[in-house]
Amino acid sequence: MKRFFLIAVALIASASLFAKVPVIGVSGYVDGSKNMVNLTYTNAVRNAGGAPVVIPVTSDETVIETIVASLDGLVMTGGADFDPLRFYGEEPLRELGDVEPARDDFDVKLVRAAVKRGIPVLGICRGEQLMAVAFGGSLWQDIPSQIPESYVKHRQGGTTGSYGTHSITIEKGSFLEKALGTRSTEVNSFHHQAIKDVPQGFKVIARSADGIIEGVERVEPLKNYPDGGGMIIATQFHPEALVTGQNKIFKGIFEMLVKEAAKAK
């Protein structure tokens, strides 16, 4: 009996501990027959105090809503280009990269479901572009060809993602300033697209030296989409890769997400 009691106490304690850890969904992508996500995302969430859960790609809205109902927060990850004709009514340029219609559909449904439920959302790279695509904005399909005056190299190439290759300026009072503790820093860069038209309710809070949007956050309720009022933040750069290097300030972004997720929990 005593042994059974001790086991029961241990199980209750474990359940209580788990209940205090916010569950953070991480959007996946399809590679052949596999649903995948880079370890840098899940490691960043775990190291910030969250419990990461990979969300498989699906178009089933009931499944998506069921998954979102079990989450306390969400990370939307990087990836391929969005279909411009489908989402913001532009013919695709020759410089447009590969599009993945199934993932486009999944990402839009997933982020809208999370925003509707009011759990905090962090978008990264494609995940920042998703904020425009999902909530009424638009993208530059290809920075080099559409913005010839842009002089910053936004595609980092073979340089490791833990190393920043260009600078950004950060808005005072923004989530990025609070998370990083600075108004300027160096970031990595793996994109040729970026937000062009900022959707209603969002504010630009970081730019590169050539004016490209590097960070946004939701600052007022979304009028045309169900909005539960949770934090919505996004970066064009990859903080989950930067935090693996010597510059640990980027951990603050994930700590902010986990802190907000704990409140939602």
Q: Over the stretch 185-209, which tens digit does the pLDDT of each residue have?
A: 999 999 999 999 999 999 999 999 9
Which of 128, 217, 240, 260 is flagged as catalytic? 240
Q: Over the stretch 213-259, which tens digit does the pLDDT of each residue have?
A: 999 999 999 999 999 999 999 999 999 999 987 678 999 999 999 99
What topology is assigned to 22-264 in CATH?
Rossmann fold (3.40.50)
d(CA 59, CA 220): 29
- Residue 28 CB contacts under 8 Å (≥ 6 apart), including other chains: 35, 36, 37, 54, 55, 56, 57, 77
d(CA 130, CA 136): 10
Q: Are 135 and 199 in contact (CB under 8 A)?
A: yes
Q: Over the stretch 90-131, which tens digit does the pLDDT of each residue have?
A: 999 999 999 999 999 999 999 999 999 999 999 999 999 999
Count helices and strands in the chain by DSSP H and E runs: 10, 13
d(CA 236, CA 213): 7
Q: Are 230 and 257 in contact (CB under 8 A)?
A: no
Look at residue 179 and give its three-state secondary structure. helix
Domain boundaries along the sequence of the chain? 22-264
- Catalytic residue flag (residue 238): yes
When mean pLDDT is compared across 16-20, 30-34, 80-84, the lowest value belongs to: 16-20
Q: Over the stretch 119-171, which tens digit does the pLDDT of each residue have?
A: 999 999 999 999 999 999 999 999 999 999 999 999 998 899 999 999 999 99
pTM across the whole model: 0.92
The HSE-up count of residue 109 (CA atoms within 13 Å, CB side) is 19
- Catalytic residue flag (residue 65): no
Tokens of 87: 């989402």
Phi first, then psi: what are they for 29, rounded to 5°?
A: -140, 165
- Pairing state of beta strands 51-55 and 23-27? parallel
- Residue 10 CB contacts under 8 Å (≥ 6 apart), including other chains: none
Q: Are 208 and 154 in contact (CB under 8 A)?
A: yes
Which of 154, 191, 192, 238 is flagged as catalytic? 238
